[in-house]
Amino acid sequence: MKFLIQKVSSAEVSVEKNIVGKIQDGLCVFVGYKNDDTNEDINYLVKKLVNMRIFPDKNKTKYFEKSILETNYKILLISQFTLYADNKKGRRPSFLSAAKSEIAKKLYKTTIDIINSYNITVETGKFQAMMEIKLTNIGPTTIIIDSDERN
């Protein structure tokens, strides 16, 4: 399981020109799953995500001082199987490493529930839809965390 995390001043996701998720100030998080990902992977990455000191203090003198738990910021969570693209052979990426849609959908729902359990507001994209994402990245700050790296 992977999170691609971007600190944003605003982010929104649309499906067929209709906004389905939108935040001001927070994190836009793209999530990818593999078939063998478990609730343990989700718990590990969500705990890392919500405790990551990525926001500045109130005086903006220390830029990586506060976590999202210490702010009133929100998360826009978007499922993105292309995080598991494999470009080793040929010119067209393979997505065989990505979880099958029925597995990924359950993992995505669980991820939302676990983030919500921390009392953080989560907006989402629409699973398996063609989405258009607009965001304003601050910094820019973009961080990738992978549950495979915990061992």
| Segment 54-83 mean pLDDT | 93
- Minimal CA–CA distance to 74: which of 21, 138, 3, 25? 25
Query: Which pLDDT score is estimated for 59?
Result: 84
Would you say residue 137 has pLDDT above 90?
yes
- At residue 56, the 3 state secondary structure works out as coil
Distances (CA, A) of 80 to 32, 53, 67: 5, 24, 24
Domain ranges of the chain: 2-150
Q: Among 21-25, 42-46, 56-60, 96-100, which is the least confidently predicted range?
A: 56-60
| Class of 2-150 in CATH | alpha beta
Query: Which pLDDT score is estimated for 150?
Result: 83
| Alpha helices (H) along 16-59 | 39-51
Euclidean distance between CA atoms 143 and 151, whole angstroms: 19
* pLDDT class of 26 with cuts at 50, 70, 90: very high
Would you say residue 65 has pLDDT above 80?
yes
In angstroms, how far is the first alpha carbon of the chain from the final one? Answer: 13
Global pTM exceeds 0.85:
yes
Query: Which pLDDT score is estimated for 41?
Result: 98
Would you say residue 82 has pLDDT above 90?
yes
Residues tagged active-site: 82
Euclidean distance between CA atoms 32 and 22, whole angstroms: 20
CA torsion angle 20 105 41 81 (round to 10): -70
Query: Which pLDDT score is estimated for 63?
Result: 87
User: Looking at the DSSP assignment, which residues form a beta bridge with residue 12?
Assistant: 22, 134
